Amino acid sequence: MLFRSLQVKLDEDDLKKKGTNVIFEINKMLDALELSRTRIPNAEQDYLVTFFEKYASGYNFLIKEEFTDRPFLSTAEIACAEFWNDPNYTTNNLHKIINKDDENDQDKYYSKIKEIFENRFHTYHKYFAIVHADGDNIGKFIEKISGDGLLLAKFSENLLNFSKDAVKKIKDFNAIPIYAGGDDLLFFAPVAHTKEKSNGDIIIEKTILDLIYEIDKLFDNYFTYYNKEGIDFEKNISEMDEPVSMSYGVSISYYKFPLSEALTESRDRLFKYAKNSPGKNAVAFRILKHRGQQFSAVFNKDENPYKTFYKLVKEHLDNENYIHSIAHKFKPQNSVLYSIGKEEDEELRNKMFDNFFRNNFDESVHKKSETELTDFLQNVKQLFKEIYSKNKLELSKEDKLFLEKKYFNETERNFESEEIIKEKHKNNIGKIYAALRFIDFIINREDRDE
């Protein structure tokens, strides 16, 4: 499918007469055009289409050079990107196994990968990530500084430099940048990378969340905390009602999953979930297992639940069944957790979570001392406290207004109130399960049903 280029034309004099800022107006229009493309209405009359269709006659050397060979890595190769720099990868000609987008080639590729890197192979090596990233409230920031030519010029320069440095970080992760236009990024990436310690142990060294962290640090350096040579973005941003930040949509799929669907899913995760999360500045991820099971969550990166989740991902666990066994402890206790979550007094609620973990995780595998839980379980408990503190099991003002308008009968109103609170509990538990299953997915060496 081919697309025409989209243009924006404005009369600067006319805008000035109306008192409208030119940069401002263009920014609004470009934001709208970014989400739409116009298909060529009559392909037969378009010379570009004719040019591309000349491939069969041998006329189009561009297509021959770019598309008769395989210029882009397969999803299997991207998923296994951590092995690219290993000498065993090239000496065993792994980079030559996949010559066509042929399923048999990919099967041969994985067979060889497992044979050579047996001790490092994990479930995630058969999955790849697609990440859409976009700046939050950038248009509002441009609006704020639009009257200062020096600030605008520096903003443009920093935006370009951020994009270039972000691409470097993406490539350092052995990910593949597809598009980098200022604060708008799209890339394909491996899910994680392992590392072999001096004692021979294999640990997860970094994950896709670490790459997101690195890109965020760049963004902070160029915008959030930028204050150099008289250009003070930090002050301007601190004065905004909604500060600038980056949000991410992450779709993690099996290497055989249709690429177009994975791409759409990643974009949806960004614009339907992360961008619509309160405060934005979010990571919205979904992992779709090859048997159809899936789990997802949205975390605001500035809030405590995400920081604890990130800390849990970074912890090293030797036992691959550890998280699986922990998660299964919660399922039969759902009604107990619901009762704890409904406690309005935060201090008392947290003490109840302390008691819950003390009573349910009392085996030696759960403790680092006679009285203390392992660091991992301490952080899981902390995640419960933070999520139920952030999303309390109570009616908001909006909930109450909705119920008052919809129901005159008090019995019906009370029933619906309970249903709303139960749904909040379901969302909280779902978020905790998604966090644990994300970690379980990364550390496991064999794909399994839940």
Give per-residue pLDDT as tens, 157-171: 999 999 999 999 999
What pLDDT, on a 0 to 100 scale, did the predictor assign at position 372? Answer: 92
Of 118, 130, 123, which Cα lies nearest the Cα of 442? 123
- Mean pLDDT of all residues belonging to the chain: 87
**Residue 304 is encoded by which pair of tokens?**
């405590």
Which pLDDT belongs to residue 45?
53
Q: Tell me the CA distances in angstroms from 158 to 147, 164, 224, one per residue in order.
A: 18, 10, 11
Q: What pLDDT, on a 0 to 100 scale, did the predictor assign at position 392?
A: 95
Predicted pLDDT of residue 95:
84
pLDDT higher than threshold 90 for residue 450 = no
At residue 23 the predicted structure's pLDDT band, cuts being 50, 70 and 90, is low
Q: pLDDT tens, 222-231?
A: 999 999 999 9
pLDDT at 3: 41
| Residue written as token pair 């309160």 | 278
pTM exceeding 0.75: yes
Mean pLDDT of 401-412: 80
Rounded mean pLDDT of 428-441?
96
What's 130's DSSP letter?
Answer: E
Q: pLDDT of 272-331, one tens digit each? A: 999 999 999 999 999 999 887 899 999 999 999 999 999 999 988 877 788 988 988 898
Q: Residue 216 — very low, low, confident or very high, per pLDDT cuts 50/70/90? A: very high
Residue with tokens 């595998």: 365
* DSSP string across 168-205: HHHHHTT-EEEEEETTEEEEEEESEEEEE-TTS-EEEE
Per 3-state DSSP, the chain is made up of helix, strand and coil in percentages (nearest 5) of: 55, 15, 30
Lowest mean pLDDT among 126-140, 244-258, 412-426: 412-426
> Region 349-356: what's the mean pLDDT?
97
Cα–Cα dist 142/23, whole Å? 8
Q: Predicted confidence band at 2 (pLDDT cuts at 50, 70, 90)?
A: very low
Spatial contact of 430 and 286, defined as CB atoms under 8 Å apart:
no
The Cα-based distances of 379 to 287, 315, 353 in angstroms read: 22, 10, 12
pLDDT in tens, 55-100: 455 555 655 555 555 567 889 999 999 999 999 998 998 888 887 6
Q: Three-state DSSP class for 228?
A: strand
Tell me which residue has tokens 């912890």.
315
